[in-house]
Every structure is written in C-alpha cells, then in structure tokens.
Chain A
C-alpha cells in the first residue's frame, strides 16, 4: 500500500481538495483508496457527505476504542476514515498519555491494514501532534502550495519539520510540491511556479492545479470534482496528478 500525507502548515492551500480529488482520481483508475481525515475541522469528511453521528471516527481509532473497519465508510473504490470536531480533544489526551511516542499513534492504529492500494492522509493546517502522526504514518509528503507569496513561508516551515523528523530517525521523503490555485492570468502565479521549478526542480509536480470554481462547488454537493464536473478543469488536473503519482511508483 502506498501511503501519502497531504500537509501544509498554512490553511487554504488546497490540502483537503487535493486529498479528496487525488483519491477520487486514483479510485476512478480502479485503485482502492483509503482517505484518512486527520483534521478536527473534518473538512474531508464533510466534503464527501460522510455522516459520523453513530459511528466511530479516527479519534476512537487513535485511542484504541475502535477497530479500523468499524470506522470506515465505503464510497465505491473510495473508503473514508472520518474525523469529528472531538479529535482536537483527543489530540490533547494522546499528548498527555503518551508524550514520548505519540507520533506513532496513527501508524499503530492502522498497522496491518490490507485491501488498499493507497492511503491518503489529510492533515490539519498546523504542524502539531496530529500532523506529526500523519507524517510518521506515511513517510511520504505531498505539499500543496498556493502560488502566492505567503504560501512560501508555510512551505519553508514544513521543510524544517521534515528535517526535524528525519533527524529523529523517522524515514521521510517529499513526494512532491503541488502548485495549486494557479491563475495563469496573474504574473505572481506564473513567477511562483517558474521559480519553484527552478529552485526545487523535480520536487515540484509537473501537474498544476488551476483555479477552478468546480473545485470549490463540489464539496457543497458532497461530491469529489470528478463526479461533480467530470470534464471540468479541476477533474482534468487531478486526473493528471493521479497519473503522475502512479508513474512515481
């Protein structure tokens, strides 16, 4: 199973959109995909319309109160491990109860899981304990980056975190940086993309996620963009990203 953690300290960079739609694009290609929502805001869970009212969520999994299969919500080739707002409290509790090895919590909770080709983890917009668990679980990071100036600060912080985790002995690779919300009409978008490629070379995905209304509209219908607007720009871009991820191996 290939594991990918979608992370960026900055909010609104396209993390949840990328986790959902990359997952959907891989599922469209027949891959079995597990989407893990590690964000207490539960954006991924809500954007796919998963009801968590009577079911355990990732929080119960992390505290050993539920088994993975009890919390899974199947949507065709996509399976969602949902989150709920209570995850914020659970994060604090895990930090109190296992201060030295909390980064391993998700890895342990999902150990031995079979039947999936991909597991994609959506992290909260912070570099706190939950993000750390997500990073350690996969050891492979996809960093969506808004093609704006402020987003570059967030990227630098994530890279610093990667170094810290590697120094602590956990294997960690950067699968790629994904330029998102790209607007070809603005010179800022063009410059950020161009310089990113010059500076970070093959660590930047060839695929660029262009700004698209359909990407913002799809969650309102509890859909991924490939189902919502199959021939739109957003669907096209995420299909291209899925192909690139598959080529990466």
Chain B
C-alpha cells in the first residue's frame, strides 16, 4: 500500500529546479526517493529501458555523458563512412 501523496511531485521538481537556478546545491541535486524514481522511470520509458535502478546508478556515474559521446561518435562515423 503506497501512502497518500499530499503535495504534487511537480511542486518538488519546480523547487529543485529553482534551487539549481539560484545557486549551487552541494552534491549535484538529482532528486532521490519517490520524486527521483518517477523522474528516472519517465526517462527510461522514453528510451525503452526497463529497469530503473541500474540505469540510475549508471547515469550518476557519468554513463549518460558516455552515451552522448558514443552517439556523437556514431554519427561522425556514419558521416565519415558516407564521405
């Protein structure tokens, strides 16, 4: 049984964003817990991933950047191939 959430998650996401904008949040403010899980799940669904925890850990460790780079490399590779 999940407990009743009294404050919409968008509110917390807005606050997190406002704090990031306002300055530094030590420890890179990626939300954790329920808010963070849902945010992560949303992104995973978009990318067709199934399990959140693994990906979350990976992204924290910088896998996201690696992926981006990988993607770019791939594109570059293709371009090179075409040329």
Q: Which chain A residues lie closer than 8 Å to B33 at the CB level? A: 194-195, 198
Tell me if A155 is interfacial: C-beta within 8 Å of chain B: yes
Q: Which chain B residues lie closer than 8 Å to A166 at the CB level? A: 22-23
For window 188-207 of A, CB contacts with B under 8 Å fall at 188, 191-192, 194-195, 198-203
Q: Number of contacting residues on B, CB 8 A?
A: 25
CB–CB B29/A159 < 8 A: no
Counting residue pairs across A and B whose Cβ atoms lie within 8 Å, the total is: 75
Nearest-neighbour CB distance to chain B for A142, whole angstroms, equals 14
- Checking B7, B19, B31, B35 against A159 with a beta-carbon cut-off of 8 angstroms, the contacting residue is B19
CB–CB B25/A201 < 8 A: yes
CB–CB A156/B6 < 8 A: no
CB–CB B22/A174 < 8 A: yes
Nearest-neighbour CB distance to chain B for A147, whole angstroms, equals 10
Q: Which chain A residues lie closer than 8 Å to B3 at the CB level? A: 187
Tell me if A109 is interfacial: C-beta within 8 Å of chain B: no
CB–CB B26/A174 < 8 A: no
- Please give 10 more A-B residue pairs, beta carbons under 8 A apart, in addition to A149-B11, A198-B32: A149-B7, A155-B15, A163-B21, A191-B6, A195-B12, A195-B33, A198-B33, A199-B19, A202-B26, A203-B25
B interface vs A, CB < 8 Å? Answer: 3-7, 11-12, 14-16, 18-19, 21-23, 25-27, 29, 31-36
